[in-house]
Homo-oligomer: A and B are copies of this chain.
Amino acid sequence: MSSTFGHAFRIHTYGESHGGAVGVIIDGCPPRIPITQAIIQQALDRRRPGQSEIVTPRKEADTAEILSGIQDDLTLGTPIAISVKNTDQRPGAYDEMALKYRPSHADYTYDAKYGIRALSGGGRASARETIGRVAAAAIALQVLRAHISNIEVLAWVKSIQHLEANVDPATIDATTIESNIVRTGDPAMVEPMIEHIKAIRGQGNSVGGVIECVIRGCPPGLGEPIFDKLEADLAKAMLSIPATKGFEIGSGFAGTLLTGREHNDPFVMDGETVRTTSNRSGGVQGGISNGESIVFRVAFKPTATIMTSQQTVTSDGQNTELQGKGRHDACVLPRAVPIVEAMAILVLTDHLLRQRALTH
């Protein structure tokens, strides 16, 4: 099920970075959900290259073509196929990579697994694969909103290397995040982060950081006990994004420094609603949403592609060196923000539909 995600709301992605197209089939989408090509395109535009001065200058229009499942801007209930052509193919830029394994990329492991590998670009390991996820999530968000009118899924850059933003998940809004090209939620950190990315890029180097995400308005009861806990599916979703190395929800790793007395979230009635006075649980208890905001963080390693010479080996087993080239992001986080949101939306939508099957 390598390229399938979800059980009730399922997506299947396909496509190498330099083949004919990348895309997605969505199966299990409820019928009569309003959706337009423009909504999908808008989502894709947030993740595409070339959108600002701090991301890769590759020029890919990434135009979504809807091939099935939608008629007159309404879903039919049948599989929705969305395809995005690969237009900016420059296989020549990658010739050396066909012979040398790029350090901390997936070249070697693909060869080890399959005994064969797409020789242009990152193949299936390219972040270009996430186009299908983002397109699918644009539709999933409409499904979510049809059932939960006030649902909000917002991600932002929490840190770039040592630069950390100060953001309140309870009040952060999309306008603030989208108002700056680094997509952080802290206006004071916009300039320092942009300058740092530019400086690092100028050195042919790269940086990573942390993206934080909040889901507000999620009703209690989503998520399933045991293996398909909401936090377990979120963790899997996030670790499936290229370049991620960690996930934590609520108090996370820092919560291990507290005692139970400090950590527990007391319950209190808020009118007819059960609430907690703190939210170290991060909106989930026992794998199921409790109605509080779901808050989690994802660690992204520094981009593996750097512009200085590195020690590596050839695919036929010789030690060698490799000098990075091509057009890459010195920091993937600004473009990863919509991908984190997309995966969170897909997890939520899947669990919403699963819960509906159980309700009577």
A/B interface sample: 27 pairs, CB < 8 A = A2-B28, A3-B25, A5-B227, A14-B68, A15-B68, A19-B71, A22-B68, A28-B357, A30-B358, A77-B114, A103-B266, A104-B281, A104-B285, A105-B286, A109-B221, A110-B288, A113-B355, A207-B259, A227-B240, A235-B239, A245-B252, A246-B255, A253-B299, A255-B299, A258-B301, A266-B310, A356-B357
Tell me whether A319 and B268 are in contact (CB under 8 A): yes
Q: Which residues of B contact A326 (CB under 8 A)?
A: none
Tell me whether A269 and B313 are in contact (CB under 8 A): yes
A318 interfacial by beta-carbon distance below 8 Å: yes
A288 — nearest CB in chain B belongs to which residue?
Answer: B109
Q: Which residues of B contact A62 (CB under 8 A)?
A: none
What 9 A-B pairs come out closest when comparing CB atoms?
A106-B286, A246-B248, A206-B260, A236-B236, A109-B288, A2-B224, A112-B220, A77-B114, A31-B114
A49 interfacial by beta-carbon distance below 8 Å: no
Tell me whether B235 and A247 are in contact (CB under 8 A): yes
Q: How far is the CB of A263 from chain B (nearest CB, A)?
A: 5
Tell me whether B21 and A81 are in contact (CB under 8 A): yes
CA–CA, A115 to B359, complex, Å? 10
Tell me whether A81 and B23 are in contact (CB under 8 A): yes
The quantity of this chain's copies bound in the complex is 4
A65 — nearest CB in chain B belongs to which residue?
Answer: B20
Q: Which residues of B contact A242 (CB under 8 A)?
A: 286
Q: If the complex has contacts A21-B68, A67-B83, are A161 and B229 also in contact, measured as CB distance less than 8 A?
A: no
Q: Which residues of B contact A353 (CB under 8 A)?
A: 357-358
Q: If the complex has contacts A79-B13, A104-B285, A252-B299, are A260 and B207 also in contact, measured as CB distance less than 8 A?
A: yes
A318 — nearest CB in chain B belongs to which residue?
Answer: B269
Q: Which residues of B contact A116 (CB under 8 A)?
A: 31-32, 71, 74-77
- A 138-161 binary contact with B (CB < 8 Å = 1; else 0): 000000001100000000000101
Q: If the complex has contacts A228-B1, A236-B235, A313-B274, are A31 and B256 also in contact, measured as CB distance less than 8 A?
A: no
Tell me whether A272 and B103 are in contact (CB under 8 A): no
A7 interfacial by beta-carbon distance below 8 Å: yes
Q: If the complex has contacts A124-B76, A245-B282, are A109 and B289 also in contact, measured as CB distance less than 8 A?
A: yes
Tell me whether B27 and A3 are in contact (CB under 8 A): yes
Chain A positions 213-239 with a Cβ under 8 Å from a chain B Cβ = 220-229, 231-239
CA–CA, A310 to B238, complex, Å? 34
Beyond the given A14-B69, A245-B282, A354-B357, please list 17 additional residue pairs across the A-B interface where CB-CB is below 8 A.
Answer: A2-B226, A4-B4, A21-B83, A71-B119, A101-B274, A103-B267, A104-B260, A113-B355, A125-B225, A229-B239, A231-B244, A231-B245, A232-B240, A246-B247, A260-B306, A267-B312, A268-B319
Tell me whether B25 and A12 are in contact (CB under 8 A): yes
Q: Which residues of B contact A123 (CB under 8 A)?
A: 76, 78
Q: How far is the CB of A119 from chain B (nearest CB, A)?
A: 7
Q: If the complex has contacts A109-B289, A286-B105, are A301 and B256 also in contact, measured as CB distance less than 8 A?
A: yes
A205 interfacial by beta-carbon distance below 8 Å: yes
Q: Which residues of B contact A269 (CB under 8 A)?
A: 313, 317-319
CA–CA, A151 to B250, complex, Å? 34
CA–CA, A264 to B13, complex, Å? 28
Q: If the complex has contacts A25-B3, A109-B220, are A259 and B228 also in contact, measured as CB distance less than 8 A?
A: no
Q: Which residues of B contact A68 (CB under 8 A)?
A: 14-16, 19-22
